[in-house]
Structure 1
Amino acid sequence: MATLTPDLPVHARSGTPLLFTGATTHTLDPSLGAVTGGLLVEGGTITGVDVDAHPGAHVVDCSGLVIVPAAVDGIDLPGRHEHRLHPLTRGNPATFALVRGGAELESVIWWPRRAAAVVVEGEFGFLAGRRLLPAPTSTTTPVHAESGPRLGTWTDKTQDVVQELTPDGRYTEARNGVQDAYQGAFWLTHDHIAYRDDLGFWAYGTFRDDVLHHAHFTFRR
């Protein structure tokens, strides 16, 4: 990953296309799924997914990393008060994290400051734990791409873990009889859920046939 260097934000701001290669990208788009080809970013937008090359692009070697969508509220963007979790598809904002983890989405759990990099609308917000964009000046609010059917109470078979997803975009999780053991915000998009715990770490899950798969847990209503 020799090209993951502090000069990259200059390339992003100058308008030079960035081609992120070598990573598994979880697009969160059901028609694409996970791809291993390059992710092309021009300006603040994704302009190519699963591409091999692009003339004039600055290649970012992401070997050994996983790319996942991110809903970033630790960054200040002028005129922006809300941040939506967008699938990584053409035309969507280039906001994502490059993290170390397994190829399976459910195994990706990361702390924002420990990510190899966080890209916010085409610019590097964090790189190797260092903040490159200003801290927020106001509190942001989670925005759901969808709601309703996924909300409510989810629990594992033994009911040792009980998770409540509420309409205000918050979750609370009881574990082994301890109420509110984990709390935070969540975002829904298609069949995926992203959690950001109030302590700062992120986790992801997938809905399949009304079953929520999260880490090594299997939840049902």
Structure 2
Amino acid sequence: MAEMIASFSHAGLWSLYATGRAATLQTEEDRRCVAILDLLAALPPDEALPDWLNPACVLGEAEHYCVTVSNGLRLAFSRQDGQVSQVRLISSAFERPGMTRVAPDYLERRPTQPGAIFRMLFLPATGLSPAHAARHLGVSHSSLNKFFGGDRRAVGDLALSLAELTGTSTVFWTRLQNAHDITPHRRSVVRGVPLSAIQTSIEAPPSLRRGRRIPARVPMAATA
């Protein structure tokens, strides 16, 4: 899979992306941040940012966006021709970000598995319960739980159903699955750094413009 993240301008975030294994991610904030990064890395270059991320444009900086990680924390980045760069964190705390770092040649962790990305990022935006989501996907509730836990892969009919439900593409889901299955990774001797430890290196929030929304396909309507 072609890596769609080119560079980081925040050293701590670079480390979190490269080494943040599930065992070291103790908070939902950490897990959500890494999941968003893995989503950006797998998104095909011709596919728009998912609208439910509510990407806000940074005023005065074309193609620069912010997406929410938690109540007080945003992930900011540039995306041009499908390539993501200058990835950084934005909060009320201010400190000059470090020098630009190119994306790591390999991850010292496995990328987030597609089931976790669907459960954590996509499912809340659909407004569906897991049982209703399983119905829309054409799978049993137990099969969906296996997908959430990484015991079922996002391929074939499931990838197609996921694309239809979320307004994405089957290519996106297969890229996520391939990244989880085959992306080279190595065991790190350095413990993953949580977001709570790197928030002293976070930029102040920029001015944002909410008027420009990223177009996305309309997800399948929920039914009772």
TM-score (normalizing by structure 2): 0.22
Where is the strand percentage greater, Structure 1 or Structure 2?
1
Query: Which structure would you say has the larger RCO, counting Cα contacts within 8 Å and 6 or more residues apart?
Result: 2
